[in-house]
Structure 1
Amino acid sequence: MTTSDTISANDIGARGAYLVVINGAGAPITVTVSDSSLTPVGNPATTTASSVTNATSKTFYISPAAVNLTTNVVTVAFSSATSVTYQLFPLG
């Protein structure tokens, strides 16, 4: 794992997926999931970093709308990759 990974649209599927981030590090990390969707009036969606406390896990929903149509992936950025793992659970 690196501080920036990509998830293929094929892995996310038509119904989205849950990304479970497990922070085994001694400090909190931030996770940012790219969002290439648009608001109802056509503005780019806002991407917000979310904190995962050390020695805990947090689940993120990744919508199919978040997929960048040019690259066909969603990018997930981590503030640190040390002792951090994740699992992806497609919804079907």
Structure 2
Amino acid sequence: MGILKKFELSNKKLIVIALLMSIIGSLLRGTDLGIPVLNLIFGNFIGTAGGFTAFPLFNWFIFPIAGYIWGQYFIRAKDKGEFFEF
């Protein structure tokens, strides 16, 4: 997230990056790289066969991006109570 903030990407670009990461993570979930150490390392990013984690980065990165964008709108809202009304 810090790297993306450093590049000052627009919200649309952040959403596209998060969606692409989520799609890639879903497609690669459970992949076996053939080397146990690589499975453990890359398991934190894509959820490999031997390095299983419940929250691989690629699948879950969309949630911090959504919170970041929501927070930008919430901070700018003049009336916080009205912001939550539909």
Name the TM tier (shorter chain). Answer: under 0.3
Higher relative contact order (CA 8 A, sep 6+): 1
The structure richer in helix per residue is 2
Structure of larger gyration radius: 2
Q: Return the structure number with greater strand share.
A: 1
TM-score relative to the length of structure 1 = 0.20
TM-score (norm 2): 0.21
